[in-house]
């Protein structure tokens, strides 16, 4: 099942930059693992923001909750989740 997720990241001005770089590296590794598995199906950057727009393809609501709330940068995120479904006019069988 498909979900539209936006993640807005806010880092306090005085947060330790070394510690944050470590979290970013862990986030990237986890993201690529989920991308390879087909769970994190799409990701785009929002121009001018520390934000992304993503499409997730999951088995269940519970799986999506687990994936999102265990992301290394989750404590810095404002997350919005919107349930999607296939559009009947689409000519792409695989438009997920």
Would you tell me which residues interact with a copy of itself (CB under 8 A)? Answer: 1-5, 11-13, 15, 28, 31-32, 35-36, 42-50, 52-53, 55, 60-62, 64-65, 68-69, 75-76, 79-92, 95
> Rounded to the nearest whole angstrom, what is the least distance from the CB of residue 53 to a copy of itself in the complex?
6
**Count of residues in the chain:** 96
> Rounded to the nearest whole angstrom, what is the least distance from the CB of residue 59 to a copy of itself in the complex?
9
The total of other beta-carbon atoms located within 10 Å of residue 8's CB is: 14
Closer residue to a copy of itself, CB minimum distance, 18 or 36: 36
Phi, psi angle pair for 7, to nearest 5°: -125, 115
Closest CA to 3 of 80, 66, 87, 71: 80
> Rounded to the nearest whole angstrom, what is the least distance from the CB of residue 36 to a copy of itself in the complex?
7
Q: Give dist(CA 18, CA 60) in Å, integer.
A: 35
């Amino acid at each position: 099942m498909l979900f539209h997720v936006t993640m807005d990241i806010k880092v306090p001005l005085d947060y330790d930059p070394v510690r944050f770089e470590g979290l970013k590296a862990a986030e990237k590794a986890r993201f690529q693992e989920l991308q390879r598995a087909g769970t994190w199906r799409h990701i785009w950057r929002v121009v001018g923001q520390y934000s992304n727009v993503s499409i997730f393809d999951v088995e269940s609501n519970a799986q999506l909750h687990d994936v999102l709330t265990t992301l290394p940068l989750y404590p810095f995120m404002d997350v919005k989740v919107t349930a999607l479904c296939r559009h009947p006019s689409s000519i792409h069988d695989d438009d997920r």
